[in-house]
Amino acid sequence: MKKILITGGAGFIGCHVVKLFVEKYPTYTIFNLDALTYAGNLENLRDIEDAPNYHFIKGDITDESFINELFDSHQFDAVIHLAAESHVDRSIMDPLGFVRTNVMGTAVLLNAARRTWKHADGKLFYHVSTDEVYGSLGEEGFFTEETPYDPRSPYSASKASSDHLVSAYHHTYNLPVVVSNCSNNYGSYQFPEKLLPLMINNIVHSKPLPVYGKGDNVRDWLWVEDHARAIDVIFHNGRLGQTYNIGGFNEWKNIDIVHLLCSIMDQKLGRAEGESAKLITFVKDRAGHDKRYAIDATKLNEELGWKPSLQFQEGLEKTVDWYLANTTWVENVTSGAYKHFYEQQYVQR
């Protein structure tokens, strides 16, 4: 009967992980810790909020005294650490905010776990990270778990720092840890500052579709529910001290994915083919925009048997269907204090 603390569980990826663990493991008690910033939304968890093995805690991972009290009170058996500032454009505007949350917040959690876990048996600190820590690829090759770190933005640098801290606590203090680095996630409940939900919402309202540069930056896309399944597998079967890359084996140029999305949206909205594509607007490229990411998830597949469940077009259509069926959710999360920022059209991780 494990007590598991999941940080950032009201966010995009976190809510899928929380729901999976709450529903799949009724003997686990899941504590969801989230500061409920702009991207954290308890509406994402409505269907499990009354589950007997689920508890929500509002709090900030950088608050050391609060975190220490939390660990003392609940004596967690494991941490799945997803809480992070995650948008590259925001990190360019406010790098220190990313350092505080992603680096200092991770250090606070690691210290609390180290202090509380006098015996490591059955304990685990699972740190969820990003492929962006590896930097940028050329036309060929893939990121593996042995790829040297080469972060290019304040966001990726902050995540690289937190990855190194987790590894250091494992080697220095024998803290039981595991790390995963994932590619671009897509699916339901993603805040509409990221590429796909922003484009979907803009197409619905016939607003411009801003694409950085020539749109030839390449990303590997991962269905968020497949990511949650991978976290489940790694949490239960991953080797301590190891890193696992999670990718969709699914590379797309930004401009190609926008064109595909426009075609799907034209069909869903009953518009003439090509109508939505007329909204595409090329804008000045982002500073330090990495050219290409591509994950080699062979280790995860061969050691733990995980592989993606969906072909990309199927997943993309499911994503479109969800956002079209949940326009009230979109309106709620894009209004209020962050509406002005959202309307500036910062996009594309």
Indicate which residues carry an active-site annotation. 131-132, 155
Radius of gyration of the chain (CA): 20
Cβ 100 vs Cβ 114: under 8 Å: no
Size (the chain), residues: 349
Which residues, 6 or more positions from 222, have their beta carbon under 8 angstroms from its beta carbon? 182, 183, 184, 185, 186, 246, 247, 248, 250, 295, 308
Which residues, 6 or more positions from 2, have their beta carbon under 8 angstroms from its beta carbon? 25, 27, 28, 29, 77, 78, 122
Cβ 50 vs Cβ 56: under 8 Å: no
The CA distance from 88 to 132, in Å, is: 10
Cβ 166 vs Cβ 179: under 8 Å: yes
First to last CA, the chain: 38
Q: How many CB atoms lie within 10 A of CB 217?
A: 22
The CA distance from 305 to 236, in Å, is: 12
State the greatest distance between any 2 C-alpha atoms of the chain, in Å, as a whole number: 64
Cβ 182 vs Cβ 131: under 8 Å: yes
Which residues, 6 or more positions from 340, have their beta carbon under 8 angstroms from its beta carbon? none
303 φ/ψ angles, rounded to the nearest 5 degrees: -80, -40
How far lies 272's CA from each of 198, 321, 335, in Å?
A: 21, 18, 30
